[in-house]
Chains A and B, each alone.
Chain A
């Protein structure tokens, strides 16, 4: 065995070892005890109601695509811990108000928590593919592992934990493909479309990933030109085919998830028809919806419902004390911390479950955004040629994706919440890692102690903040003074409690 192979093997072993540690820590921060609190919080009352409709084959229409809720229902189907309970307050409801005593969330929260737990591994792999340093990737993974806001939201029976998993999976595959210095095959385009569509079938905000294929086309264009010196007609023919296969892969899962939705949720109950057209209702009642021939009307009705639903969502009321939403411009700073639920345990102690950010993680994301902006502007305005072209391409990808996502959010009229920033937060964290690599390229290569010491110091701060805010992440009792002392910045707007 020559020395090169030995180094490679050792390197792979260390990478797998790091991956194992990341998953081990993730189990404790994301997965362990996910069924607690055994009370509803935030949007669980909608998603669990939807999951039970799947289990009871009740027809319903909902704003979000069906795949995420199908996973929630699948978890309940696997564990079925509530079979012996009177579920009359849960079944056939649009929104659950009361849950029965001894109701268990073990099945309903299983898949969201599982995917969030596994996302840590993907975060590590993606960081490794981006920066090419296993040790630093391992250290950077703690930004995902210890972010209180991501943890608290992902452990609920909600869609975001699952969505993030498939976004990271798509990005891992995209990063791998983008790093290849050759033309991407038609199959690879199909696969990336397939992966993106899984994320988009959970939550529509995943559509931001549609920027990926555009970058792949650009990469193919550059590679082709470098290899052939010109762009031939065959390139455009092949490109058209790739675009076609990408969208085939993309539509496949989205349509398939709606197909399952209408196959499972097929019985109209309590006269709830969700204002669908007569023709569509007939198809539902005769169980003809889930047929390829009826696809156009199915899509039309789903889009119509989505648009109507959006019209009904209230707008942001910034002055209102009870407003949980916040303007997207303030999301990078953690506005607004949402008090998901609270419970008085004694005269002095109260339990809070709160969407509270880890300020160190979010600050690093914001700094990453600023650094990448400087790098980006430096290249395009001041014509600075950065040493590492591949890293610059990734910075461009994440920066453009971040800006596009936020521009869309800023144009939405309805009220939006802090957790809608999770996707751009991940982008901004990758920008932070890539910008550091770009700025400290020489230190990066020679394992400079100062750099490692600085990153480790940041991680210690992250760990302290995680521990400090964890009572509000895991619903543990604290007194009011302790609670208010955690309101470091007025912008977080801690919610006052009333009795």
Chain B
């Protein structure tokens, strides 16, 4: 009889596990991404020339560790292998006027834009080394765009931020006490 109960428990747990996985909603991604494929080196200066839009996708944050391919830490999706440009766009709501410190690691080039103003950029072939910048953000909603390109070889893009009074860095896209992404929805 004990064996039967164990078997019954196993069957019920299997059903529970199955349902849990099937109804699991995809992670809510708040950063929209557009990928453009180029036939040759896709510098950020020659945008849209000879490019072909290949895929729309979305990500929860900007956390693509250095690897042979541009691959998000959690999602493990690489729409294009090489010679491509990506535009990451979204909204951020600032709860209180503050100074933001941003750290960018990117291989290859990038351009970080808020409300059509370039905050920090290095639109060239580069290695995965840190650059940082401090800038002020006023209370309210802002539109941001991260322009990124990858030629050949290793790829990666990590953007972290913290407000002036904060100790820990968060990935761009993860809300913190000062910044709410996707208008805090």
Kindly identify which residue among B12, B26, B29, B55 contacts A457, using a CB–CB cutoff of 8 Å.
B12
CB nearest to A469 among chain B residues:
B22
B4 with A443: CB separation less than 8 A:
yes
Kindly identify which residue among B18, B29, B35, B81 contacts A464, using a CB–CB cutoff of 8 Å.
B18
Verify if A412 is at the interface (C-beta below 8 Å from B).
no
Main secondary structure of the interface of A (DSSP, over half): helix
A430 to chain B, nearest CB (A): 18
Main secondary structure of the interface of B (DSSP, over half): mixed
Give A494 to B77 CA distance when docked, in angstroms.
10
Give the interface residue-count category, chain A: 35 or more
Q: Which residues of A contact B8 (CB under 8 A)?
A: 450, 453-454, 457
Give A168 to B29 CA distance when docked, in angstroms.
48
Give A347 to B35 CA distance when docked, in angstroms.
10
B22 with A468: CB separation less than 8 A:
yes
B18 with A360: CB separation less than 8 A:
yes
In the complex, which of the residues B4, B56, B76, B79 has the most CB atoms of chain A within 10 Å of its own CB atom? B4
A440 with B18: CB separation less than 8 A:
no
In the complex, which of the residues A344, A457, A487 has the most CB atoms of chain B within 10 Å of its own CB atom? A457
Give A443 to B56 CA distance when docked, in angstroms.
55
Q: Which residues of B contact A460 (CB under 8 A)?
A: 15
CB nearest to A490 among chain B residues:
B76
CB nearest to B16 among chain A residues:
A461
CB nearest to A453 among chain B residues:
B8
Can you list, as one digit per residue, whether each of B1-35 has a CB less than 8 Å from chain A (1) or not (0)? 00111011011101101110110101001000001
CB nearest to B75 among chain A residues:
A484
Q: Which residues of B contact A451 (CB under 8 A)?
A: 4, 7
Verify if B78 is at the interface (C-beta below 8 Å from A).
yes
Verify if B100 is at the interface (C-beta below 8 Å from A).
no
Kindly identify which residue among B10, B12, B17, B77 contacts A484, using a CB–CB cutoff of 8 Å.
B77
Kindly identify which residue among B10, B57, B78 contacts A496, using a CB–CB cutoff of 8 Å.
B78
Give A461 to B19 CA distance when docked, in angstroms.
8
Kindly identify which residue among A348, A454, A465, A488 contacts B11, using a CB–CB cutoff of 8 Å.
A454
Q: Which residues of A contact B166 (CB under 8 A)?
A: none
A458 with B14: CB separation less than 8 A:
yes
In the complex, which of the residues B11, B19, B22, B76 has the most CB atoms of chain A within 10 Å of its own CB atom? B11
A432 to chain B, nearest CB (A): 11
Verify if A377 is at the interface (C-beta below 8 Å from B).
no
Q: Which residues of B contact A494 (CB under 8 A)?
A: 76
Give A194 to B117 CA distance when docked, in angstroms.
79
Q: Which residues of B contact A458 (CB under 8 A)?
A: 11, 14-15
Verify if A499 is at the interface (C-beta below 8 Å from B).
yes
Residues 64-118 (chain B) with a chain A CB within 8 angstroms: 68-69, 71, 75-81
Verify if B54 is at the interface (C-beta below 8 Å from A).
yes
B77 with A480: CB separation less than 8 A:
yes
- The 15 listed contacts between A and B (C-beta, < 8 Å) are A321-B69, A347-B53, A443-B4, A451-B4, A458-B14, A461-B14, A480-B77, A480-B79, A482-B26, A484-B76, A496-B71, A496-B77, A498-B79, A499-B35, A499-B79
